[in-house]
Structure formats: C-alpha cells, structure tokens
Amino acid sequence: MQLKLGLLGAGPVADYHLAAFVENDYVGDVILAEPAEELRQQAVDKWGIIKAAHPDFQMVIGDSSVDLVDICAPYPQHRQLALAALEAGKDVIIAPPLADSMEACDEIIASAQRTSRRLFCCLDALFAPHHIEAQKLLEAGQIGRPLTAAVQIAGPPQPGGFVMTLGYEAIYTLEHLLGPVIAVSCRIRREDDGKAEEAAVLALEMSGGGLAGIIGEAHPDVRRYENRLTGTDGFLLLRDDPEDEVALIIGHGEMVSAGHATCPLDFKAWSVARALDHLVQCVVEDKRPQATTEQARSALCVAQAAAESAASGRTILIQGD
C-alpha cells in the first residue's frame, strides 16, 4: 500500500520531511502546496518525489486523492490548515509545535476526535538514539532517582522565538524522561531593538520532585544540544553535536563510560526520518504512535506558561487536566 501525501509548506522543516519520504516505501507521490513561488520551485527541483505543486493550500487539502496531509507551514497557520484537512477527511501529521495556543491545540484535537481521523505531531527528538537509550537507562535505575536536568541549546534564531521552537523541543524531551512540568519560570533577553531574542532561560519544576533548567542561545550557524541528567547514583550526559562522536555518557562517581547509542552525522535528519517512518506506519497499520498528541499538548502548555512568565516576571503554576 502506498499513500499519496499532501505537503503544506516548503520551508526548512519540509526539507527534512521530504528527505524522509523519499526513502519511505509507504509514501508514493507527494503533492506540494507553498504560496511562495521561489520556495515552491526550489522544492520541486530538489525532490523528484513531488509530482505536482500549487500556490494554494486548499488545492491540496481539497484533493480527494490525497490520503495524508503533512503540515510544515509556520506554526501560527497550523490551526487553520489542520482543521481544514481533518474536516476534508485526511489523516494529519503536524511539525511541532502542534499549534500557537492551547485554544487552537484543543480545537485541532477535538476536530480529529469528531471526524475520526488520525492526528500526529512529529516529536522527532524522542526518536534520536541517545534519547531512546537514556530512557532505558532511567527506567532501569542506572542513575538512581533523578534529581536535576540541565539543558543547553544553541541554534539559529527562528520565527516565533526560542520558547516555541528549540525550547519546545527541550520541554517535550524533558517531560518524556522526567514526567510532567508543574511550574515554570522564564526570562528572555532580547536585542537592542526589543524584538529578536538573544537568549532565554527556563526553570522547571517536575511532578516527580526533580528540577530542570533550559538555557538557549541564538547562534546563526550553530545547532547544539546538551542535557545533563543527575540522579542520586550517577549522571547521564546527552549531546547532539556534529563535532562530537560520543552522544551519550554515563557517570558513576569517578567512573565514566560511553553509552550504547549510535551517533549519526546529522541527528536532526536521522531522528525526523525515524519519527516520520513510524507515523506513516501508524497510519497504514492503524497503530498507536509512540509519541502522542497528549505529549505535544503538554509541552505546548508549558511553552505557553513560559511565555506568560517571561511577560509577567512571575512563576506560572501548571494545572493538570
């Protein structure tokens, strides 16, 4: 069985998705919609899998031959596009974050339930090899009871700011490893014009009693991720750095060793491909995904609370449903 896939948006995220679909046996033709003519043509020229390209998203959403819609447009557009695709009877994959507000997020989820369509958020970082291995080690009690996590991220500035992009990814990986966030405080440093973000710091309290911090810095040409998880009996160090061959380190006292995690040259491309392979398989075989919309929703709730904290200067408590 092969699916005809409708891709909405042709920005940088779409390139990762198209690279994955080229190698996916379940994906046949791809129909692209992208309003910007230059981006649309670049995608068509680069990826032979694209069989048609349109300037209007609705031309893909309304195509009765399209089985699955993959939304890679900017996240403020996710609500409108996801609702239209779900109501048109399509299963939907959304590149994170799921939406730009909790109201929009819940509206999308409710539409999927009402229309009985499948809804997925591509939480690709959870499919990275060092995160998978770290989860196994935590579940096996290899560092005892987790106490703290310290995440440092550097990456190119992105539209929408740090919290809803790189920060969102850090939030959902921390919640996956340590459980839900129950309180968040955030501070953001902006450039002199007051618009572009230079750095952000988030302090998180986890439901299991652990504490976590996320520090993000804007660097035009760098993408790095490091997470040090410290427990009562040791620590784990997760690193996503193209210049570093060791992705996972395990420490007990003075004893340090490399974890059993392969190190692909491009973590992002590798994890996106694994995530999309899994999600497409879930559509074809009607399986429950390993990374759920509930996780995507929870991370969005924390990100929204962080934005509120940065604006108000207060710690925001997060109420569970």
Whether residue 97 has a cis bond before it, omega within 30° of 0: yes
Please tell me the distance from the alpha carbon of residue 271 to that of residue 280, in angstroms, as a whole number: 14
Q: Quick one: 145 and 117 in the same domain?
A: no
Residues 143 and 24 grouped into a single domain = no
Q: Which pLDDT does position 244 carry in this prediction?
A: 65
156 shares its domain with 206: yes
Q: Are 256 and 109 part of one and the same domain?
A: no
In this structure, the answer to whether residues 177 and 260 fall within a common structural domain is yes
Total Cβ atoms within 10 A of residue 178: 22
Asked whether residue 131 falls in the same domain as residue 262, the answer is: yes
The reply to whether the predicted model has a pTM over 0.85 is: yes
In a domain, 305, yes or no: yes
Mean pLDDT in order along the chain per 10 residues (321 residues): 94 95 96 97 95 97 97 96 98 97 98 97 94 94 96 83 90 96 94 75 95 91 88 94 77 85 76 96 96 97 96 91 62
Write down the pLDDT at residue 320: 67
The per-residue pLDDT for 134 is 94
CATH number at residue 189: 3.30.360.10
What the block records as the tokens of 20 is: 């994955």
Q: Which of 122, 143, 162 is the last residue of a domain?
A: 122
The domain of 195 spans 126-266+301-317
For 205, list phi and psi in degrees, rounded to 5: -110, 125
248-252: strand order across its sheet: 255-258, 248-252, 234-240, 224-231, 146-155, 211-218, 197-206, 181-190, 316-317
The pLDDT assigned to 222 comes to: 77
Backbone angles phi, psi at 113, to 5 degrees: -65, -40
Residues 98 and 200 in one domain: no
